Chains A and B, each alone.
Chain A
Amino acid sequence: MAEYSALSLFKNAFSGNRDWKPAWRKPDPKPSYDVIIIGGGGHGLATAYYLAAEHGITNVAVLEKGWLGSGNIGRNTTIVRSNYLLPESVRFYEFSMKLWENLSHELNYNVMFSQRGVLNLAHSPGQADAFIRRGNAMRHGGVDAEWLTPQQIARKVPGLDTSKSARFPVVGGLLQPRAGTARHDAVAWGYARAADRRGVDLIENCEVTGFLREGDQITGVSTARGDIRAKKVALAVAGSTSHVLQRAGIERLPIESHVLQAFVSEAIKPFVDCVVTFGAGHLYMSQSDKGGLVFGGSLDFYNSYAQRGNLPTVEDVMSEICAMFPSVARLRLLRSWGGVMDMSMDGSPIITKGPLPGLYLNCGWCYGGFKATPASGYSFAWTIARDEPHAINAPFTLSRFERGAVIDETGHGPTPKLH
């Protein structure tokens, strides 16, 4: 398959762009594989890529119920950051950040990773203290973090209401300059193409309807396209984790599925050149390359598998963005949509072997799955290939709840809607 390069763009332009080959094949499933990955989203595709690229395991199938990248990889607000407090999270997300920094090159696919900075606004002295503490923890873990004064913020983000008369005046902000955004669909497509080129079979419209077992051992899956056997079956299905694992007889997990909405406005001229988050509520916003303001807020706060939310949350999010940026009040909303989040009981993910022999589990991403895509795929592939966790995912076990070793960034406890 042709490499993507300036030269290939030039050559194909001369032949009317008729000779591009599809980015990946559409193979029929084989009767058996070394590894089956359930879920053709960002994490599943990244896992397949790293299995092939890092561990030489290429007899792999990715089974996707719909089409590749039809879930949360294409529904998020595209933010990439590693501005966490706890050492386990800092290590994991900073590992991810370093993979992001070389991702377009590694995949030969432009994921449009833009390190435009993520600025968390603080609106009270207590919040400023907490943010500065988090910034210090980040710097201690080798992550970049800077504290900005209201004057510096006013210069950096001119549209922001930094006046003393704002409903929630800005008292400062924590900036991670290396954080930013990426083109989310391109991440799925880039990993898909790179995995396909290494021999991975990407099989769409292939829902897993059951698991094949010998005793406790998982030996394959039943699908809409017949039974497929595998030595190892790995699950990366985000909000559908509980639903799919019920078919393997796992009735209860430390997961609740919740709907999270996101929004994009009509396109406007360059308005804000970094990601800004509102600390007096919960809102994160950036401007896409097409000019639309891309933003989101909190969950709808009730269990849901519907990929759509309700109006009270829409109203809440709109009131927050208008409080931050009064000048956007008359912008029209272009689109809104919902994605199903796998909210874990401590707000941190689960990347582990188990819970049954032959099964591997990747879930619990809460609001934060997109930025984790490279590290999630890397460490999940490592766990599948070597039957032991990589150092970065070793703390993110399923058994941590039983052992009391939870990784709770926000300290909200086992209340998934609040993480």
Chain B
Amino acid sequence: MLIDCPHCGSRDLAEFSYQGDATRARPDLASTDTKAWLDYVYNRPNPAGRHREFWQHAGGCRAHLVVERDTLTHEILTVAFARDAAGGDAA
């Protein structure tokens, strides 16, 4: 698997560190909605197919990325800097 880092170009998987699902949204810190917190902390959609996820180019430029990847084929679909990608924790 090669990930096309927007800063460094196409680099080997071994340089990247996986940080998990990028679609979950953290509730407001003042929120006492336990269902929303449960969903954020523990529950995942875990799709078979297109998955939006965080990676860090830990062995390179150290940028945090949002990658769209197919979990059935490992095909990388899109890569963007996490700070530019809307949605989830990155918003």
Question: Is the CB of B13 closer than 8 A to any CB of chain A?
Answer: yes
Shortest C-beta distance, B40 to chain A (Å), equals: 10
Q: Is the CB of B53 within 8 A of A312?
A: no
Q: Of the candidates B39, B43, B73, B74, which one forms a contact with A310 in the assembled complex, judged by CB atoms under 8 Å apart?
A: B74
A303/B74 in contact, CB under 8 A = no
Interface residues of B in 1-31 (CB under 8 A from A): 1, 12-14, 18, 20-21
A303 and B42 in contact, given A242-B47, A310-B13 (Cβ under 8 angstroms): no
Q: Given contacts A310-B1, A312-B13, are A303 and B43 in contact (CB under 8 A)?
A: no
Q: How far is the CB of A84 from chain B (nearest CB, A)?
A: 22
Q: Are B74 and A251 in contact (CB under 8 A)?
A: no
Residues of B within 8 A of A164 (CB): none
Assembly CA distance A277 to B70 (angstroms):
33
Tell me what chain A mostly uses at the interface: helix, strand, loop, or mixed: mixed
Q: List 6 A-B contacts (CB under 8 A).
A: A252-B44, A252-B45, A252-B46, A255-B44, A305-B72, A306-B71
The number of chain A residues touching the other chain, given as a range, is 20 to 34
Residue numbers of B with Cβ under 8 A of A are 1, 12-14, 18, 20-21, 34, 38-39, 41-48, 51, 53, 69, 71-74
Nearest-CB residue, chain A, relative to B74: A306
Determine if B1 and A303 form an interchain contact, defined as CB atoms under 8 angstroms apart. Answer: no
Nearest 4 CB-CB pairings of A with B = A242-B46, A252-B43, A312-B14, A401-B42
9 new A-B contacts at CB < 8 Å, known A243-B47, A257-B48, A401-B38: A252-B45, A255-B44, A256-B21, A256-B44, A301-B18, A303-B53, A312-B14, A315-B14, A415-B20
Contact across chains for A304 and B43 when beta carbons are under 8 A apart: no
- Interface pair A303/B46, CB less than 8 Å apart: yes
